[in-house]
C-alpha cells in the first residue's frame, strides 16, 4: 500500500521535515485512551484523521464522516442536527462563526454538547493544516468523574443571558456573541459578527441608519477592566457596556439597553433647570418609570421616590420621603454617594454609575445599579441629587460566580498537584517579580535548591506510590518551616524543590536550611512504609547581596552548583555561594 505523508515546514530553515500520517493516527489513538477527541485537517480544511473519542462526543456524525470532507460540511451537518428547529439563516450564521473561530482560534473555549462541557483547542501545523482537540472538562485532569479541573464558560450559554453578551479575543475582535447582542446593535439576520470589532459593529449601525457615527476613540482602544461605559446608537438609543478582561487577554462584555434610563435622566436634568411649571413633566416621567427614581436635597433627605419602589423594594414612597438616603444604602456604598462627608455630596459632583446594596422593606439587601446626577443649586427647589436605581442582582451574582471560577482556575494553574506547593510556573513568575523588586529596592535575596537524597532507590525499592507519598511529606515539611508570607516554596521538578527568600541574607537562608534538615531527621518515615529508611536532603544556596548587574539565571545556576557540591560531598548537608 502506498504510504501517505504530511509535510511540515520547520521554523529555522528551508528544509522540510516529513511526518507520516500514520504517526498522527497513532497520536489520535493515544488520545483515545484518555478520552480526548482529535481531528486533523489539511490546509484546504479537508478532514484527514479523526479518532473514536470524536465520534463519542459528536454522535450526530455516526458513520457519515469521510476523509476529504471539509470542515464546513462537517459543521453544517452538525448544526442541521442540533438546530433542526432553527431557521436556515440562523444555522448559516452559526456555520460562519464556527468557521471563523476554527481559522483564527488562539485560546481554548468551551461549549455544552449532549451534557458534556467540552473545552476546544486548535493548533496550526507548519504547512497550514489545523489540529483540533476536544476535552470533557467535567472529568477534570485526572480523568475521573467529578475530579477538579478547568471549568470554562460555555459560549453557547450566551444565548440564555437576558442582556447582550460578547466574548472578545486579544485583538479586541469578537469570538462569540448572543442573539440579544445582535438585536441591540441592529446586526442583520444573515451577518456574522465573529472577527469584527465592537467599534465596527457600532459604525455599521450608524451607517445602516444613514447617519455619521460619533467619535469612537474609546471603543477602538476599549476601556479598562470593570469600568462601565455607554455607547450611543442612532435613534437616541444607548447601550451600557461592562467589560471584564482576563489575564490571558480574553474579554467578556455585557450590553444592556439603557435608552429609557438615558431619556429619563435627560428629562430630569432639564426639568430642574426650567421653571416650576415644568416640574409636573418631570414627576410624570419619573412616576411611570420601571426604575426607582429618588430625588434628595443637599443634606440627602429624600424629597421624592417614584411609585416603582413598592414593586422593586417593597417600600411605600410616602414612608421614605423625609428620611435620609443613608438609611437605605449599605455602609460599603456610602463613599460612592459621598455620604461620609457632611453637607453636599461632593462625590456625586457629576453623573456617575455605581453598584451598591439597597435595603428592601423585608430587611434584605438587594444589589442595584445607581445612576447619580447632581443638579445645579437653585433657590426655588430643594432637589440637589437625582438617583435612578435598577435591580441588577442576577448580573452581580453571575459576575461573582464567574470571578470565583476564574480564581479557582488561577489557583489550580499555580499549584503542584502532588505536593500542594507552588508549581514551577508559579515560581518562575514570582521569582521574576521579586528579582525586579530587589533591584528596585536594593535589598538582598536568597535562593535555595533542595534535592531528596537517594530518591531513585526509594522509587526502585518501594515503588512509585511510596515515592509519591515521600514527596508529599517532604513538601509538607518544607512548607511547615516557612513562616513569612513573602517566602515561596515550590516543587522545581521530580524530587527537587526550590525556596525563594526575598529580603533574606545568607544567614537567614542557612538557618532555614538547618530547620528543614532537622525536620527531615525527626520525621517518622516508617509511617509511610515500615521498611523505609529516614530520608535526607541536600541543599544548595545562592545568597544575592546586590541584584544590579546580575540576571536571575545566574542565581539559579549558582544555587545548582552549590547543590551539586553538597551532593558530591556526601549528601545530607548544605552548601552556599554568594553572588554580588
Alpha-carbon distance of 420 to 478, in angstroms, equals 11
Q: Which of 180, 469, 495, 575 is catalytic?
A: 495
Extract the C-alpha cell encoding 187. Answer: 446586526
The residues, any chain, with a CB within 8 Å of residue 227's CB and separated by 6 or more, are 243
How large is the angle between the packed helices 552-568 and 424-441, nearest 10 degrees?
120
Helix (H) or strand (E) holding 578, with range, is strand 574-579
CB atoms within 10 A of CB 527: 10
**What sign does the dihedral 555-556-559-561 (CA atoms) show?**
negative
Extract the C-alpha cell encoding 246. Answer: 482576563
Burial class (CB in 10 A: 0-12, 13-18, 19+), 540: buried
CB 550 within 8 A of CB 513: no
Active site residue 495: yes
CB 385 within 8 A of CB 295: yes
Extract the C-alpha cell encoding 227. Answer: 469600568
Burial class (CB in 10 A: 0-12, 13-18, 19+), 55: middle
Alpha-carbon distance of 558 to 426, in angstroms, equals 21
Helix (H) or strand (E) holding 176, with range, is strand 174-177
Q: Parallel, antiparallel, or unpaired for β 47-50 and 109-113?
A: unpaired
Place of cell 553572588: 579
b/e map 255-272, b = 16+ CB within 10 Å: bbbbbebbebbebbbebb
The residues carrying an active-site annotation are 495
Amino acid at each position: 500500500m502506498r504510504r501517505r505523508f504530511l509535510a511540515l515546514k520547520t521554523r529555522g530553515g528551508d528544509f522540510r521535515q516529513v511526518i507520516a500520517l500514520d504517526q498522527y493516527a497513532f497520536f489520535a489513538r493515544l488520545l483515545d485512551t484518555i478520552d480526548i477527541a482529535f481531528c486533523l485537517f489539511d490546509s484546504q480544511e479537508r478532514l484527514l484523521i479523526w479518532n473514536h473519542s470524536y465520534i463519542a462526543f459528536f454522535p450526530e456524525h455516526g458513520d457519515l464522516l469521510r476523509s476529504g470532507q471539509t470542515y464546513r460540511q462537517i459543521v453544517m451537518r452538525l448544526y442541521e442536527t442540533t438546530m433542526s428547529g432553527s431557521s436556515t439563516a440562523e444555522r448559516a450564521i452559526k456555520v460562519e462563526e464556527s468557521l471563523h473561530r476554527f481559522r483564527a482560534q488562539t485560546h481554548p473555549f468551551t461549549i455544552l454538547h449532549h451534557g458534556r462541557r467540552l473545552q476546544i483547542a486548535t493548533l496550526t501545523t507548519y504547512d497550514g493544516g489545523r489540529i483540533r482537540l476536544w476535552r470533557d472538562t467535567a472529568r477534570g485532569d485526572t480523568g475521573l468523574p467529578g475530579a477538579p479541573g478547568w471549568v470554562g464558560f460555555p459560549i453557547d450559554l450566551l444565548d440564555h443571558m437576558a442582556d447582550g453578551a460578547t466574548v472578545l479575543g486579544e485583538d479586541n475582535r469578537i469570538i462569540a456573541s448572543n442573539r440579544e447582542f445582535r438585536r441591540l446593535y441592529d446586526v442583520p439576520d444573515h451577518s456574522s459578527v465573529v472577527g469584527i470589532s465592537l467599534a465596527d459593529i457600532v459604525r455599521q449601525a450608524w451607517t445602516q441608519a444613514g447617519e455619521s457615527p460619533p467619535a469612537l476613540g474609546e471603543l477602538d482602544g476599549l476601556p479598562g477592566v470593570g469600568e462601565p461605559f455607554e455607547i450611543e446608537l442612532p435613534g437616541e438609543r444607548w447601550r451600557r457596556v461592562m467589560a471584564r478582561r482576563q489575564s490571558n487577554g480574553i474579554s467578556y462584555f455585557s450590553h444592556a439597553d439603557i435608552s429609557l434610563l438615558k431619556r429619563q435622566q435627560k428629562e430630569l436634568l432639564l426639568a430642574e433647570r426650567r421653571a416650576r411649571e415644568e416640574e409636573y413633566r418631570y414627576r410624570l416621567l419619573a412616576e411611570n418609570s420601571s426604575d426607582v427614581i429618588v430625588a434628595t436635597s443637599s443634606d440627602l433627605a429624600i424629597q421624592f421616590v417614584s411609585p416603582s419602589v413598592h414593586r422593586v423594594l417593597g417600600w411605600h414612597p410616602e414612608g421614605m420621603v423625609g428620611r435620609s438616603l443613608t438609611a437605605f444604602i449599605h455602609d460599603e456604598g456610602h463613599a460612592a454617594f459621598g455620604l461620609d462627608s457632611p453637607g453636599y455630596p461632593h462625590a456625586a459632583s457629576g453623573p456617575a454609575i455605581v453598584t451598591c446594596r439597597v435595603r428592601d422593606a423585608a430587611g434584605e439587601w438587594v444589589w442595584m445599579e445607581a445612576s447619580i446626577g447632581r443638579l445645579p443649586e437653585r433657590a426655588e427647589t430643594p432637589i440637589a441629587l437625582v438617583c435612578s436605581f435598577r435591580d441588577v442582582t442576577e448580573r452581580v451574582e453571575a459576575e461573582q460566580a464567574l470571578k470565583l471560577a476564574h480564581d479557582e482556575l488561577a489557583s489550580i494553574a499555580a499549584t503542584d498537584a502532588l505536593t500542594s506547593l507552588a508549581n514551577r510556573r508559579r515560581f518562575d513568575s514570582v521569582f521574576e517579580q521579586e528579582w525586579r523588586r530587589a533591584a528596585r529596592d536594593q535589598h538582598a535575596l536568597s535562593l535555595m535548591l533542595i534535592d531528596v537524597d537517594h530518591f531513585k532507590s526509594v522509587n526502585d525499592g518501594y515503588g512509585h506510590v511510596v515515592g509519591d507519598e515521600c514527596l508529599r511529606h517532604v513538601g509538607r515539611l518544607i512548607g511547615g518551616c516557612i513562616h513569612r508570607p513573602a517566602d515561596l516554596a515550590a516543587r522545581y521538578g521530580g524530587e527537587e524543590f526550590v525556596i525563594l527568600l526575598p529580603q533574606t541574607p545568607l544567614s537567614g537562608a542557612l538557618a532555614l536550611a538547618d530547620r528543614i534538615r532537622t525536620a527531615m531527621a525527626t520525621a517518622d518515615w516508617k509511617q509511610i512504609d515500615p521498611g523505609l529508611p529516614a530520608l535526607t536532603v541536600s541543599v544548595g544556596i545562592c545568597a544575592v547581596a546586590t541584584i544590579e548587574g546580575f540576571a536571575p539565571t545566574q542565581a539559579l545556576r549558582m544555587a545548582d552548583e552549590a547543590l551539586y557540591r553538597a551532593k558530591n560531598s556526601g549528601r545530607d548537608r548544605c552548601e552556599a555561594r554568594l553572588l554580588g
